[in-house]
Amino acid sequence: MLDLIRNLELNLKCPKPTHKGNFVTVRKALEGIPQDAYNNEYKRVSQKVVDRLNHIKPGENAWTAKLPEELKLNVKNAKMSQIYKRLHPDLPSYTITGSGGGGTHGYHFSEPRPLTNRERARIQTFPDNFEFIGSTESVRKQIGMAVPPLLAQVIFTAILDELNNKSYAYINANYEFSNELNQEPTLFEYANK
């Protein structure tokens, strides 16, 4: 993508946020999913996970919740904020990821269970008629590694508008990249901007 912008010498601007102050809540994103929707299989979890999730309130995770000693995680030096984190129904979702193991799958706000892949896809803005192919774990990774369709639409609309010299709503970016070919900024350059 960056090579296309560089090769065409586009002066691409950062599209204006579309949902600032008017975000889609998790509750809204997940409402009305048909039971027979593609990739909507519930994952089995152990009774201990169910018990743990019953002690974690929406928006909390395994580290911030007041868990009984027997339900606390026996992990040292790794306190990732997404481990057993339950979504908050009245806020936007946190990042849906395609990596990680147990405890990082995203958890429903009112039911003690991981999200189904269809729920993950809904949060990522995939339409219900989009079918992911593969095992349940493969589908979870596909969804988490994907660019959300509505985000892709905003980006490509801005690129097309720029190509057609059409104005569009934008904000000033907090990063500027070089239009010189093959001149990716180094981590040092990123850190010192």
pLDDT of residue 69: 94
DSSP β-bridge partners for residue 170:
15
Check if CATH label 3.90.120.10 holds for domain 25-146.
yes
pLDDT tens digits for range 40-90: 999 999 999 999 999 999 999 998 999 999 999 887 776 677 889 999 999
Smallest CA-to-CA distance from 37 within 139, 134, 131 is with 131
pLDDT of residue 39: 97
95-109, 114-128, 156-170 — most confident range: 114-128
Average pLDDT over residues 131-159: 93
CB contact at 8 A, 88 and 109: yes
Q: Residues near 7 by Cβ (< 8 Å), separated by ≥ 6?
A: 181
CB-CB neighbours of 108 under 10 Å: 19
157 pLDDT above the threshold of 70? yes
Tell me whether residue 76 is exposed, middle or buried, using C-beta atoms within 10 angstroms of its C-beta: 0 to 12, 13 to 18, 19 or more: exposed
Boundaries of every domain in the chain: 2-19+149-191, 25-146
188 pLDDT above the threshold of 80? no
pLDDT of residue 97: 87
Q: Considering only CA atoms, give the Rg of the chain.
A: 20
pLDDT of residue 99: 75
pLDDT of residue 22: 86
Single-letter residue type at 36: D
Confidence band of 9 (pLDDT split at 50, 70, 90):
confident
Q: What is the residue-averaged pLDDT of the chain? A: 86
5 pLDDT above the threshold of 90? no
